[in-house]
Structure 1
Amino acid sequence: MESINRPIYRFFSFRTSERMASEYGHCSGQVNLQTGEILANISYGLFHYPETYQLNLADSISQFPHTTKELIICAARHAANEEGVRGMTRRRVIFVCKDGRRYITEEYSGDRSEYAARGRCLDSCDMDWPEIRDIFQESATYTQFIKANLRAQAAYHSFRSENGNSGIVRNLRKGREGPYADKILFVYAAPLATGGRIFETNYTCFTPVPGLPYPACTGQGKKPCLECPLRQSFQTAELAQLQAEHNWPRAVHTDGDDAYLIGSQSNQAGLVPVYLFPDCQCALSSETLYPAEEYYRLREILRNDPSAFDDQCDLFRSYPLDWYKELALYAMRCVARTHGSPMAESVHDQSGQTAHDISKAIFEEQDLFDPYTDAAFLAAAERILPWYIRRYVNR
């Protein structure tokens, strides 16, 4: 039933046979599989205005298609029938005030990595989703949320308009369903049990109101998912007793996300806690626990002073490796944000010195992991501080 309400897009591109100023046209477009609507754009180099076409899969074409419109419809039909084409992840961000009022952003479609995976595409994004999500992390007021949304929307560029989305935030009235999205990122005015303010979940686990100590999961447009361990009703006296007896944190941070305590289980080592991730509903049991509050405390240190990643290196190296990598990238983003842009060249100011210290600490001074062989970390770091990372990897 869900898939009926979910618009799915397919993308296509081809070179036209028409030329202008000795340049062949390039057509790039998208088709909505639910409505059949086609939006296509043909450009002829940098110095000619693009041509825009709004068509539909149901439009008739001749037995031997030859016009530009017919070729676009043929390309869209082929894309619609193509198997295995990965769609964009569609996201919405909702700000929840302390009194329960909700405000929702326009749709965020994909991120830098997803656009890059499509190859030649006229739409683009300057950031990966973790970087965009970071922008909202510190939003504690409606005004801060508005500013964060404008910064995040500015990273998206559409061939349909110069500025992409308008960055409008709308009120989402109590009890009203929000528009469909693959993922929903909630930003809370009041900090959660983790110490952070954000909570990302799936459409099937929509979280409409703030709840303490956890967001209350009710399932958007569905009956309350009574079996969900993250619901407030599951925060029983038994869990409180487990926390008190074993000193287990209410939430832990691992693998880039927060997991919440839902119970315990026995193994060879004895009784161990079980934590649950809100998005994938994947259970986690661990004997070595690091509270999520501690992770966000370290982030706060770096937000106020990114150079602390080098100045207090022993502190950051004393935590798990996945924390170290996440915080290293976060420190880089804080520097780039202060500077105002990715550092594609050497910068001779305080931001440049901090970028130098952070990259030096990672590539020359720590012994937790080998950054030269960690492709995912290198790619993420290079996008944030290009010059300072390439000086190590491009020797």
Structure 2
Amino acid sequence: MRGLIRLAGILTCLMIGLATAPTAHAESSYAGYLDLPPINGDGAGGGGLNPALPLDPAVLRDALDQARAAGIAPHRYATLLHQYWLVVATRNADIDLATWDPALGVAANSRTFTQVYVNYLRLNNTHPDYWWTGLAGLAGGSFASGFFDMGDVSAIISVPGLHQVGGAVADLLRGTPAPLLDILPADIATLGTEGERLTAEDLAWYQTRLMIMQKHIFIDQVPMHEAYAADGPAGVEEMYRAGVLDENAIAAWREITAGTPDGLADAALRMTDREQNQIIADQWDSTSHGRGAMGRVMTYVSTIAGKAAVPGVRAPGVFAPVTLSAGAMSLRAPLPDFNWADRDTRWNYITHDLLPRYLELCANPAVARPVLAVPFSAMLGNGRLVQRLPDLVGDMTSQWQLTT
């Protein structure tokens, strides 16, 4: 009898241990992932949001489900939630998050750089109500092309005084009276006085800055699109409760859910506002002021060469040309009178030309779908400066108005 009692006690202890083991395991699976800051949320480093978080979606999902089941407040698992959808996003985009590190330079990131835009177009083509991703893909064509053209920038900076884009523009500048050249806007003057000092190291630094901003935008925008694609409104509402999304972002998703044309247009505006004025505005400021005068030189060169692959969009220099006057002389030159790095003038261009033309495109699906279905490789090739040079020079020469 005593032996039976002892055996029963042992069995009871084993059963208690087995019953409590899952609870201990569950707690250990998510407890270490709570209250983590997104220390790499700005895209400057390699990997995900926090090195304490795994990159395996199954492990992340298990921890997330356990935190939810345990009644943990969403704000405590915000970074875990964001990391999960980021891992889903990069896997769906065919991007290796573990090796995505802007600091490694162009060679290590060139495939990832273009794959980001391939993925934006993929998202739009599989979810036509994702208007922002379509804009990101089309605008990304010129952005990525400019990124790869940066390696050849030194070849198109020549005569002191202005940026030369082809021989025709150089001839026009040489025919411009000196009093007008003397009052050039600051960015053009800086390009003229400092551009010839541009080095390979300056260009490499600028390319890294572009890659950081690109990753920052992806980290912020793509996870919420994947959450909505997988879980519908509930997916983004959880991100909102966790504090990953703010009022502006969740308002955009609620409009996408409603699905009205006006709502989809406003959602695209809200997401573009988030991208440009919340996510990367400070990074553009830092870039334009980096490396002495070279930050302004390189950001202005990007402004001159930039033209998004959206039908009807004007080049920056056509949208806002430089206008000079000196006495009886005046010059209206289709060099941009703004720098893309400056948030207010950038936003003015976006809201008065780029976004309206894109929304017009979206309002006509019969036209929009073929445009958005163009393979990104073709878009990238067509966007290269060498390919666009005739149009760019044409924009400038046709709009060059000198009065003496």
TM-score range, shorter chain: under 0.3
Structure possessing the higher radius of gyration over alpha carbons: 2
Q: Tell me which of the two structures has the higher relative contact order, counting C-alpha pairs closer than 8 angstroms and 6 or more residues apart.
A: 2
Task: Write 1 or 2 for the structure with the bigger share of helix.
Answer: 2
TM-score, normalising length from structure 1? 0.26
Task: Write 1 or 2 for the structure with the bigger share of strand.
Answer: 1
